[in-house]
Structure formats: C-alpha cells, structure tokens
Amino acid sequence: MSEWVEASVVERIRWNDALISLRFEAELEPFEAGQFIRAGLDVDGERIGRPYSLVNAPDERPHEIYFNVVREGPLSPRLAQLRSGEGFWVAPTPNGFLTLDEIPAARDLWLLATGTGVGPFLSILKTAAPWSRFEKVVLGHSVHTQGELSYQETIREMQQRHPAQFRFVPFITREPCDGQLCQRIPASIEDGALERKAGLDLAPETAHVMLCGNSGMLQDALASLEKRGMKRHRRREPGHVSMEKYH
C-alpha cells in the first residue's frame, strides 16, 4: 500500500473548545483494537503527520480518532478545523502494541488513561475479547474538568451490557468533583482509593494494567505499581504493566 491514502471526514464531534473526534472513511489495512494510525495534512508545502489511536473497533465504520487541540502544535489545530466532506491524509498501516494480543493471561484487566488516552481503550472495550478473557474489567479515566469526560454514553452502554464485569472510575484533578476520584491516578494506586472505588484488589497475582496518556502519569503510575510488586511487561520478559506514551 502507498505511504499515504486519502481520508474523508464523515462527522466532526466537538466535545469542547479543545477536544475533537473525527469520524472518517479511508482504506486502512486491518488493525487490532488499541492500535494507532498516522494522520497528516499538507502545511506550507510540507506533509505533517502525527500518530492517533483509533477509537472504533476493528469491524466498526467509520473510523474515528479522538484528540485534543495543542494550540501551538502544527497539526492538531488544523485537524480540528476539518468539517464533513473535507479530506486529510492517513498512513494506512496501523501500528502499536497496546493490544490485548500482546498481554499475558490475567484474571482482571485495568485500563488507566489520562485525557485522550482513553481512545484506544474504548476500541478494545468495543470488541468481545476483554469480556471473554477477563473476570473483571476496570476503565479509569483521568481528566482535569468534568466537561472533559467524553464518550459517557458509550461507557454507559458498556456498563449496561456488562454490569457485573465492568467498573468505570472517573478522575477529576483540577476542579471540585462529585462522585469521582479527586486525585491523580498514581496517588489513587498508592493510597488504595482506586481499588476501593473499583471494588477490586490490584495485585500482581491477578491484574494486568494498561496505561495510556502523558509521560508524567505513566512514570508515576508505573512507580506506584512497582511498589505493589508489579513490573513493566515486555515481550521477552512478561510483566504486569503495558503502556503507550502520547507525549
């Protein structure tokens, strides 16, 4: 396949000033839930491409990416302005190892994300695999403000479909919260608040944790999990924590 193919925007969802989802049609190669593609635009005669996780399940169309507008960034503000019918470029070969095929057997699956890092986990949760493989599935989503808790309807549907198996734990870190955890993910691992909220032990004997988001969260969450006897998972050296860094 060629390096870039055309993508056409089918729908643009503007969750707020800085959070956008683009649904689009494009001839992508088959992908696994949790993988990312590269999206690109031509700016001043130069093609600028950046990786974006797919939010849709592999068999779901249209394709979808979810991103925040980094004001000073060269690509995300421009992608955010695209409307239905407008085009951009995608590199059609998906990549990435934040997939269930890459992780070892475990009783429970913990998916912990900051911001738009929730995207690949939604793709995973839309497939049958997590529900047949794990006893319990926890999705933790940490954002600054209530208004950044996107995809609530999708998450509610998952809760309705898997009431005994699924726990959703929202975190609000920069405004007063109501029913959510009001702390960062690493702190909630340290003091047991995440386990209490999920109603489940987070232990190396039973858990595999997937982390996605900013490097500060990944580093600190890994350090907190290591204190519980967990270690980073690598292909050659199986562990309990898989991660993907957005920035």
The one-character DSSP state at 180 is S
* Site map 73..112 versus ligand FAD, x via CB under 6 A: xxxx------------------------------------
Residue selected from 35, 56, 99, 116 as contacting ligand FAD according to rule CB under 6 A? 116
Q: Find the binding residues for ligand FAD in span 44-63 (CB under 6 A).
A: 50-53
Q: Which of 117, 93, 98, 120 lies closest to 38, judged by CA?
A: 93
Q: Is 67 in the site for ligand FAD (CB under 6 A)?
A: yes
Residue 67 beta carbon to ligand FAD: minimum distance, rounded to whole angstroms: 3
Task: Name the closest residue to ligand FAD (Cβ).
Answer: 73
How far apart CA 51 and CA 77 sit, in angstroms, is 15
* Site map 5..44 versus ligand FAD, x via CB under 6 A: -------------------------------x--------
Strand order in the sheet with 36-43: 46-53, 36-43, 87-95, 5-16, 19-25, 63-68
Strand blocks (E) in 27-68: 36-43, 46-53, 63-68
Q: Which of 173, 172, 181, 188 lies closest to 225, judged by CA?
A: 188
Residues in contact with ligand FAD by the rule CB under 6 A? 36, 50-53, 65-68, 70, 73-76, 116, 119, 244, 246-247
